[in-house]
Amino acid sequence: MTVRVGITGAAGRMGRMLAQAIADSGAPAVLTAAIERPESTLLGADVGELLGGEASGVVISSDLSAVADQIDVLIDFTVPEASLAQAAICAERGLPMVVGTTGFSAEQTRALATATAGMPLCQAPNFAPGVNLTFKLVEAAAKAFGDSVDIEIVEAHHRHKIDAPSGTALSLGEVVAKALGRDLSQAAVFGREGPIGARGRDTIGFSTIRAGDIVGDHTIIFASEGERLEITHRASSRMAFARGAVQAACWLVGQSIGRYDMQDVLADKESIT
């Protein structure tokens, strides 16, 4: 079955990568709609030409409602405000939606959950398969070490990233906190400066690096006296996120109403890779 995919944020870093991943996917996915913000200078541009290839016949437009009947699933990598607006349009039509956008406030997270309650939604802070394996490794390490180690999460991204710490770092923190029975909102320490005193063992530290063109690095440190274990994932290309998101989109079309994440996609052996 061919899955007709729409992308919001089509001219962005991830949007272009998604269009390339769909073009490379051959059979399972085909791009049928590309949406950008109304002020974008790229409205009317052909997506194939934007990628440096031949015209594809899919031009960038700004109104998802106008093209919603041409897609089976929407992939959204934009900003939280835009994701919420697109979610409302998908909800009206029961259209499945894959959300890769990060940086939602607690209020926006609740609004997204409410808006998408009646449709299939797959949301993940990171669609790279390796990161999703990292979640499992980190959970196992946290459970094995228990409260015997200090746990720090260090993430690095490119200079244009607008939210910090990354959604992936926060999710890693949630995994650690859950494994250790801690409340992340109480345990998290975001950066340190000045005479802060000794570290509490029950805290989970976050450090953020923003520099150059780093695609996305995450390291989780489990440190005690005399040794430390570090689990690191490094993304070297956005293609890892894009392929995962396209895989999630193809999988989501066959699912019933509900909320899913990339772990659900990867756990399903029927999922197309």
Annotated active-site positions, please?
Answer: 157, 161
Task: Indicate the pairing of strand 216-224 with strand 150-157.
Answer: antiparallel
Nearest residue (CB) to ligand NAD, 56 versus 171: 171
Report the nearest approach of ligand NAD to the CB of residue 7 (Å). Answer: 9
CB of 76 to ligand NAD, least distance (A): 8
Query: What does the alpha-carbon distance between residue 109 and residue 80 come to, in Å, rounded to a whole number?
Result: 9
What distance in Å separates the CA atoms of residue 39 and residue 62, rounded to the nearest whole number?
9
CA distance 95 to 78: 18
Nearer to ligand NAD, 23 or 223 (CB): 23
Both structure tokens of 233: 């994932």
Q: Which token pair is 79?
A: 């900003």
CB of 10 to ligand NAD, least distance (A): 7
Nearer to ligand NAD, 28 or 100 (CB): 100
Stretch (H or E) spanning 91? helix 80-93
CA–CA distances in Å: residue 10 to residues 31, 41, 50, 53, 194: 11, 12, 10, 16, 43
Closest to ligand NAD by CB, 138 or 149: 138
Binding site for ligand NAD (CB under 6 A): 8-9, 11-15, 35-37, 40, 77-79, 82, 100-103, 124-127, 241
Smallest separation, CB 87 to ligand NAD (Å): 12
